[in-house]
Amino acid sequence: MRGMTGYYFRLALRSLRRNPLLTALMVLAIGFGVAASMTTYAVFRAVSGNPLPDKSAQLFVPQIDNWGPASRKSGGDIPDSLSYTDAMALMRAHQAKRQTAIYPVSYTVVPGAGSQPFTVNGYATYTDFFPMFDVPFRYGNGWASEHDTQRANVIVISSQLNQSLFGGTNSVGHTLNLDGHDYLVVGVTADWNPQPRFYDVNNNRSFADAPDFYLPFTRAVDMQSATTGNNNCFGSTGRAPGWDSWLHSECDWVSLWLELPNAAAVTHYKSYLEGYVAEQTRGGRFRWTGGAQLFDLVGWLDHEQVVPPETRVSMMVALGFLLVCLVNTVGLLLAKFMRRAGEIGVRRALGASRRQIYVQFLIEAWAIGVAGGLLGLLLTGVGVFGIGLVFEPAIARLAQVNLTLVGLTLLVSMAATVVAALYPTWRAAHVQPAWQLKSN
Amino acid sequence: MSMHIQPILAALRRHKAGTVLIALQIALTLAIVCNAMFIIQQRLAHLSEPTGVDEANLLVIPNQWAGHMSPEQADAQVRTDLVALRQLPSVSDASPSDAYPLSGGGWDNFIMRKPEQLTPTTDASIYLGDEHMLDTLGVKLIAGRNFNAAEVVYMAPRQVVIPSVVIVTKALADHLYPDGSALGKPIYAMSTTPTVIVGIVERLQRQGVSQWNKAYAYESLLWPARQDATGVYYIVHAKPGQLADAMREVPRALYAQNRLRIIDPDDGGSYVQIRKRIYDSDRGMAILLAIISAVLLAITAAGIVGLTSFWVGQRRKQIGVRRALGATRGDILSYFLTENLLIGIGGVAVGVVLAIAINLWMVTQFEMARLSLIYVGIGVIALLALGQGAVLAPAIRASKVSPVEATRSV
């Protein structure tokens, strides 16, 4: 059989050389179709991936409808962040294994004389943030939970900020001045920037650069550091001037994440959350009932439509394109195979089985698939390189040619071509030898 | 012509697979290209929407204060900066603001006509500025008056200050008071304190142009106020033709005033830069779809050439017989053209249904607009013409088959 395969392969090459134009056309069609699909898929995979596959099933986001049905008369959903009041109530209740309130903040660093000041972006969180999200550390650790309650001046910085401020050395125990206030460095994270940034997708930062620092939420609130993310308010009530009035308003700007390790914990939290909302209704704060939701991480990314519509549409157009290329290839292969009806008739009459005809023509198709795959690989490389022209840079740079993509490109083109060859091969195998010989 | 259709249909029945494949390819191509063209047109229309400001001469400087500065110190510095900016030789005017059109996002408020109203009437993008703001932006005042210096208030961080007067865009005025009586009327911006419309400008685009903003396109308001939380945008109007000079002079002048500031290179800039940033994905999408459509049409055409050439090759003997029986070259040519036209019509018929189905599905999935039938029409004509063009070369080759072929075996 091995010898036969080699023979069929030589036959295939000879046949392909006989109609170089037709062969080139098929290879081009497969190559372009596969390249378009793979390029757009590389982007899609980068933006739609699970940022924390080992942990995502245990991470949850609660939503509370603190504006009521009146806010949705002209469409829309319940707010995608929490008011400070609700976030703090849920933090205090401590009904999950771990929990952290989060909001984005930004400060400025004024280095020594001669260098320009610069902005640093980070998050105000609780210490549970680090174990919940499996944040890796290069030096030190997250702060102690007492630091949260003591509203302490501690900070965890990224390895990048550590590099630019402390030359990459262990800076734990050093102080860092942000906007004129000193913070004690307690930890330096290793490179950590899950994509999409699931814990801050409601602020258009899903695909941003790694944050520079994390500091206690309680401290940031004491510093009156405003959120650099969205601050959504509804209605005209509760907007008295001043920081404290803002904290206690119904404006929504805090994200809350929970770690619920098993189904029992999820059920427990759901009933707690419903109880909390019912209590707000009883107390007169909400003039409506219900309106609590709990999303898991993957469900949350889906709810927030993290994958840009451009990415989805492009991938679908590209898949449609591949489909047309395949239909095209079926037609051309059919023409190519049926033109050799006479040859098939002779081979069948001389004792070749249908199976052997199948093998011969599928090998020929496979050879086209390999050539198309190689061309597709080349074009995918060009495509991924040029993707920056099409998608916003933050997303484009996520798409990379790696071994998986190379393997997938070759696999898809070979599989696609063999699938395209099934019908033409079936037709070829069912050529009636007697009829062919007679007509000659 | 009609005489030829019967035998063509009979012949096509013998090539069912090939006929179906070409028709299917035409149908899929039509469906994809129609939708792609429609999306391209929508994106291009989106990115060519005017902002209403004098884009050619505008410069936006995102200014953030470094280190610790009290709000009062920052406001004093803003006023000093503005005096310096307005004195620059390349600058004709400047105003502080909280945002700029096409910045991507920023402050917007629900707007009510009555203080006690529960459901908002609409939503407006908010631009703060002093009495220089209108001239700086270069927006056209079509009714009422500009702010005067005495009306400009200072908004300290977290102070809920509602200025007594407001200038609104015509779009916002028409939405609030469709009878055209907006001037002089009060509006309520998430507050029970009224703000009275003293001026109406022709056009001022919102900060954001994303999907949710579309319902409120061009609905913006201007308040006479300076606000400085951690930074401010300086909107600078360069003297005609001196934008490049202003882009050099302005940062230099600002740093000379005070070095403790950060000007983010990835924000603001000239309107060429601002437009590029905000419409990046729209332009990219249009380019990508245009490339895919072009290659798709080329591949479909090539496929038709390939299959028709095969059919011609297969039927040389029959063509020879017809020629021997008196058919002219024109008859043979028109046979293949008609055959292709019939397949093409079958293909586009399926394609039109497919194109509309895909669009309807995308409408539900991506909040896209309904496909305009003009695009389907253009697509149908384009694909039929493409088919006829593609079949021309093999058909001409067929018409050159000599009657002698009839006598040859195979």
Between chains, do A317 and B409 touch, taking CB under 8 Å as contact? no
Digit-coded pLDDT (tens) for A340-365: 888 888 888 888 888 888 888 888 88
Whether residue A382 lies inside any domain: the answer is yes
pLDDT confidence band for B280 (50 / 70 / 90): confident
Of A55 and A16, the one with more pLDDT: A55
pLDDT confidence band for B218 (50 / 70 / 90): very high
Q: Tell me what the pLDDT averaged over chain B comes to.
A: 90
Of A304 and A99, the one with more pLDDT: A99
For residues A82 and A150, membership in a common domain is answered with yes
> What is the rounded CA–CA span in Å between residue B74 and residue B68?
10
Whether residue A11 lies inside any domain: the answer is yes
pLDDT confidence band for B26 (50 / 70 / 90): very high
Q: Is A333:A26 a contact under the CB 8 Å cutoff?
A: yes
pLDDT confidence band for B282 (50 / 70 / 90): confident
Range ranked top by mean pLDDT from A200-209, B43-52, B150-159, B302-311: B43-52
Digit-coded pLDDT (tens) for B111-133: 999 988 878 889 999 999 999 99
Residue B371 has pLDDT above 90, yes or no: no
Q: What is the pLDDT of residue B229?
A: 67
pLDDT confidence band for A236 (50 / 70 / 90): low
**Percent over 90 (pLDDT), chain B:** 58
What's the domain range around B183? 98-233
Q: What is the pLDDT of residue B126?
A: 95
Least confident among A325-334, B66-75, B187-196: B66-75
Locate A111 and state its tokens: 């280095």
Of A134 and B408, the one with more pLDDT: A134
Whether residue B80 lies inside any domain: the answer is no
| Count of domains for chain A | 2
Residue that has been written with the tokens 């001045």 in this structure: A177
Per-residue DSSP letter, A69: G
pLDDT confidence band for B1 (50 / 70 / 90): very low
Give the residue among B96, B97, B124 at the shortest CA–CA distance from B108: B124
Q: Can you tell me the mean pLDDT for A87-96?
A: 96
Locate A238 and state its tokens: 């509760």
Between chains, do B260 and A110 touch, taking CB under 8 Å as contact? yes
* B153 in A contact zone (CB under 8 Å): no
Residue A3 has pLDDT above 70, yes or no: no
Which of A259, A294, A327 marks a domain boundary? A259
Least confident among A158-162, A419-423, B211-215, B341-345: B211-215
Long-range contacts of B359-367 (CB under 8 A, 24+ apart): B359/B34, B359/B35, B359/B38, B362/A313, B362/B35, B365/A312, B366/A309, B366/A312, B366/A313, B367/B211
Q: What is the pLDDT of residue A195?
A: 86
pLDDT confidence band for A2 (50 / 70 / 90): low
Range ranked top by mean pLDDT from A398-402, B106-110, B170-174, B403-407: B170-174
Residue A44 has pLDDT above 50, yes or no: yes
Whether residue B345 lies inside any domain: the answer is yes
Whether residue B304 lies inside any domain: the answer is yes
Dihedral angle computed from the Cα positions of residues A165, A168, A174 and A177, in that order, rounded to the nearest 10 degrees: 20
**A-chain residues near B35 (CB < 8 A):** 317
For residues B372 and B294, membership in a common domain is answered with yes
Residue B2 has pLDDT above 60, yes or no: no
Whether residue A268 lies inside any domain: the answer is no
Q: Can you tell me the mean pLDDT for B350-358?
A: 94
Q: Give the C-alpha distances (Å, rounded to integers) separating A218 from A151, B55, B192.
A: 5, 44, 32
For residues B210 and B296, membership in a common domain is answered with no
Q: How far apart are the first and last CA of chain B?
A: 30
**A-chain residues near B36 (CB < 8 A):** 317
Whether residue B259 lies inside any domain: the answer is no
* B290 in A contact zone (CB under 8 Å): no
Of B244 and B373, the one with more pLDDT: B244
pLDDT confidence band for A239 (50 / 70 / 90): low
For residues B181 and B287, membership in a common domain is answered with no
Give the chain A residue nearest B121 (alpha carbons): A74
Which candidate in A288, A390, A425 is best for mutational testing of the B interface (most B CBs within 10 A)? Answer: A390
Q: Is A123:A192 a contact under the CB 8 Å cutoff?
A: no
Neighbouring CB atoms inside 10 A of A403's CB total: 7
What's the domain range around A88? 66-259
Whether the bond into A196 is cis, omega within 30 of 0: yes
Whether residue A56 lies inside any domain: the answer is no
Nearest to A70 among B118, B296, B299 (CB): B118
Q: What is the pLDDT of residue B350?
A: 95
Whether residue B366 lies inside any domain: the answer is yes
Between chains, do B281 and A308 touch, taking CB under 8 Å as contact? yes
For residues B325 and B225, membership in a common domain is answered with no
Whether residue B161 lies inside any domain: the answer is yes
**B-chain residues near A232 (CB < 8 A):** none
3-state secondary structure of B238: strand
Locate A435 and state its tokens: 């009829």
pLDDT confidence band for A131 (50 / 70 / 90): very high
Q: Where are the beta strands (DSSP E) in B130-185?
A: 141-144, 153-155, 165-169
Q: What is the pLDDT of residue A245?
A: 87
Q: Left (φ > 0), alpha (ψ -120 to 50) or beta: where does A305 sit? A: left
> What is the rounded CA–CA span in Å between residue B241 and residue B134?
20
Helix (H) or strand (E) holding A122: strand A118-125
β B220-227/B122-129 pair status: parallel
Locate A310 and state its tokens: 């451009």
Q: What is the pLDDT of residue B191?
A: 85
Give the residue among B29, B361, B390 at the shortest CA–CA distance from A321: B29
Least confident among A187-191, A357-361, B200-204: A357-361
Residue A438 has pLDDT above 70, yes or no: no
For residues A112 and A243, membership in a common domain is answered with yes
For residues B205 and B325, membership in a common domain is answered with no
Locate B286 and state its tokens: 């249009």
A-proximal residues of B, 36-75, CB under 8 Å: 36, 39, 64-68
pLDDT confidence band for A102 (50 / 70 / 90): very high
For residues A244 and A203, membership in a common domain is answered with yes
Q: Tell me what the pLDDT averaged over chain A comes to.
A: 88
Q: Can you tell me the mean pLDDT for B368-380?
A: 88
Q: Is A121:A157 a contact under the CB 8 Å cutoff?
A: no
> What is the rounded CA–CA span in Å between residue A27 and residue A374?
9
Distance from CA of B216 to the nearest CA of A (A): 12
Q: Can you tell me the mean pLDDT for B238-263?
A: 93
* B278 in A contact zone (CB under 8 Å): no
Between chains, do A331 and B307 touch, taking CB under 8 Å as contact? yes
Residue B134 has pLDDT above 50, yes or no: yes
Q: What is the pLDDT of residue B410?
A: 47
Residue A87 has pLDDT above 90, yes or no: yes
For residues A28 and A76, membership in a common domain is answered with no
**Percent over 90 (pLDDT), chain A:** 45
Between chains, do B260 and A117 touch, taking CB under 8 Å as contact? yes
**Percent over 70 (pLDDT), chain A:** 96
pLDDT confidence band for A126 (50 / 70 / 90): very high
**A-chain residues near B303 (CB < 8 A):** 25, 29, 327-328, 331-332
Whether residue B71 lies inside any domain: the answer is no
Residue B86 has pLDDT above 50, yes or no: yes
Q: Is B62:B382 a contact under the CB 8 Å cutoff?
A: no
> What is the rounded CA–CA span in Å between residue A123 and residue A297?
19
Residue B92 has pLDDT above 60, yes or no: yes
Q: Is A189:A143 a contact under the CB 8 Å cutoff?
A: no
**Percent over 70 (pLDDT), chain B:** 98
Residue A405 has pLDDT above 90, yes or no: no
Residue B179 has pLDDT above 90, yes or no: yes
Q: Can you tell me the mean pLDDT for B186-196?
A: 91
The sign one gets for the Cα dihedral B131, B133, B138, B144 is negative
| Count of domains for chain B | 2
Q: Give the C-alpha distances (Å, rounded to integers) separating B184 from A266, A381, B62, B123.
A: 56, 61, 33, 19
Q: What is the pLDDT of residue B211?
A: 80
Dihedral angle computed from the Cα positions of residues A197, A202, A203 and A209, in that order, rounded to the nearest 10 degrees: 10
For residues A430 and A375, membership in a common domain is answered with yes
**A-chain residues near B107 (CB < 8 A):** none
Which of B201, B216, B233 marks a domain boundary? B233
Report chain B's C-alpha Rg in angstroms.
Answer: 32
Whether residue A288 lies inside any domain: the answer is no
Which of A228, A259, A290 marks a domain boundary? A259
Where do the H-state alpha helices sit in A134-174? 145-150, 159-166
Q: Is B246:B80 a contact under the CB 8 Å cutoff?
A: no
Q: Where are the beta strands (DSSP E) in A198-350?
A: 213-216, 252-259, 292-296
Where do the H-state alpha helices sit in A167-288? 217-222, 243-247, 263-282
Whether residue A400 lies inside any domain: the answer is yes
Whether residue A299 lies inside any domain: the answer is no
**A-chain residues near B64 (CB < 8 A):** 108, 119
Residues 6 or more apart whose Cβ sits within 8 Å of residue A309: B366
Residue B370, Cβ density class (10 Å: 0-12 exposed, 13-18 middle, ≥19 buried): exposed
Nearest to B25 among A204, A314, A331 (CB): A331
For residues A45 and A70, membership in a common domain is answered with no
Q: What is the pLDDT of residue A396?
A: 76
Whether residue B13 lies inside any domain: the answer is yes
Give the residue among B168, B170, B183 at the shortest CA–CA distance from B109: B168
Which of A259, A288, A321 marks a domain boundary? A259
Residue A255 has pLDDT above 70, yes or no: yes
Whether residue A123 lies inside any domain: the answer is yes
For residues A76 and A223, membership in a common domain is answered with yes
Give the chain A residue nearest B21 (alpha carbons): A331
Q: Can you tell me the mean pLDDT for A147-175?
A: 95
> What is the rounded CA–CA span in Å between residue A157 and residue A171?
9
Q: What is the pLDDT of residue A272?
A: 96
For residues A324 and A386, membership in a common domain is answered with yes
For residues A213 and A353, membership in a common domain is answered with no
> What is the rounded CA–CA span in Å between residue A258 and residue A99?
4
